[in-house]
Amino acid sequence: MPRYRILVEYDGGPFVGWQAQANGPSVQSALEEAVFRFCGERIRVQGAGRTDAGVHAGGQVAHLDLESTRRPAVLRDAVNHHLGPLPVSVLAAEEAAPDFHARFSAVGRAYRFRILNRRAPPALDRGRVWHVGTPLDAGAMDEAARRLLGRHDFSSFRSSECQASSPLRTLDRLDVRREGEEIVLYAEARSFLHHQMRIIAGTLREVGAGKRTPDDVSAALEAASRPAAGPTAPPHGLCLTRVWY
């Protein structure tokens, strides 16, 4: 039974998230249905990151097993054909080792969070940025972000519904940069907690608005309690950009 690794991008707006759920369409289900229409096999597509409803991906990695051997290019093109108008695209496909697992073999993940920081709301990027119309201090946000680097108990920065067995995570990168009218957060870690990046973004936005200081962010981290951190930012500013192995 051959195993295939695929690279996927998608607009998370129409979906309840990556993972198949009973309450609406998911990216996972869309891919599985496209594979079924292609070759008649009911399979499970395993993704590297279980992105939330509304979160996008430019570098999601997934794997799937087929009963029959297919040329990777044929698999890519056929799945894209059967996805039809859905905003999901398989960018690449290749055969993978039998023990490769998109989620458990991953050694790092990268996310980007975009904040459009101007008075006028977005038109072309609506649904892909968090619009904050009041001025933000990107320098203060970056200083606060550095307080979160390294290995910590991130209990203050994870959802109350997070199912991870431990709140300990290591943030290898967390940069905040002003890029024209946008403030962009770049983060890298082996793995992330549920809503971790969105809570970080919501907290840093408060720093940028002068409602918190970098020292307040350090105190929130030390508190190890969700109420100590800021609000959860909306999902549409977040994108999974890369997974590596």
Residues labelled as active-site residues: 52
Number of other residues whose CB lies within 10 A of the CB of residue 227: 8
**What token pair was written down for 219?**
């105190």
Amino acid at 185: L
Q: At what angle do helices 72-83 and 27-39 cross, to 10 degrees?
A: 110
241: nearest Cα among 7, 31, 22? 7
Contact by Cβ (8 Å): 49, 197: no
Please, what's the b/e burial string for 188-216 (b: 16 or more CB within 10 A of its CB; e: otherwise)? bbeebbbbbbbbbbbbbbbbbeeebebeb
Residue 233 DSSP one-character state:
P
The 3-state DSSP class for residue 160 equals coil
The 3-state DSSP class for residue 183 equals strand
114: nearest Cα among 29, 66, 175, 182? 182
Contact by Cβ (8 Å): 221, 200: no
Cβ neighbors of 97 (< 8 A, separation 6 or more) are 3
